[in-house]
Structure 1
């Protein structure tokens, strides 16, 4: 599988909540690092983390860039908080492939509607 196909399948399987399909896209040595929290997950732990994430509903791939065995995708993620209200996030996923499977993902998440920091609110 090439990087463009891998990124498209990565996004589609997450959006479909197809956790076994996601696991199949990932190399046995897969790791995911969440830049915003400093956490790092191995393959099965990362799939389980996503499968059990409370309130997750949709992921839509908005943009992508591919070069060789690397792909970057920017996606819009929608979830629900504990009160059932929608929450919107952006995530940039930096993927690296090895042997046609995703061996690494580095993710950078942002809350889309948190507003500016207090010092810039006016």
Structure 2
């Protein structure tokens, strides 16, 4: 499976909450680093982290770029807080593919719909 197809499949499996299939897309030596928290997960930990994430509902791919064994997927993630209010996040996932599987992933997360700092120019 090429990098673009693999990352598209990864996002579809996460969106479908198909946690039993997710490990099959990840290399045995898989690692994921979350830039915003500094956390690092192995394959089993990352699958469990996603499966147990409170309020997660959907993951929608907004953009995907790949070149050889490297790819970047930008997505919108939708969830709910404890009061049932919708939450939206943006994530950029930088992937390296090894042996046809996701080997390394670095994720950068951000809240969506934040107000810009006072005094900044909006275009």
Give the TM-score band, short-chain normalised: over 0.9
Aligned to 2:41: 41
* Deviation of 1:2 (Å): 1.1
Distance 1:106 1:119, change over 3 A: same
Q: Which structure has greater helix proportion?
A: 1
Q: 1:39-98: CA deviations, max 9, x gaps?
A: 000000000000000000000001010000011010001000010000000000011110
SS in 1 for 2:21: helix
Aligned to 2:17: 17
**Mapping 1:17-96, distance limit 5 Å:** 17-96=17-96
| TM-score (norm. length: structure 1) | 0.94
| TM-score (norm. length: structure 2) | 0.94
Distance (Å, rounded) in 2 between the aligned partners of 1:118 and 1:45: 39
Structure 1 outlier segments of 4+, above 4 Å: none
Distance (Å, rounded) in 2 between the aligned partners of 1:63 and 1:35: 20
Distance (Å, rounded) in 2 between the aligned partners of 1:119 and 1:15: 38
Distance (Å, rounded) in 2 between the aligned partners of 1:29 and 1:49: 17
What are the ranges of 5 or more consecutive residues in structure 2 without an aligned counterpart?
A: none
**Mapping 1:83-122, distance limit 5 Å:** 83-117=83-117
Residues paired across the two proteins, number:
121
Distance (Å, rounded) in 2 between the aligned partners of 1:33 and 1:107: 6
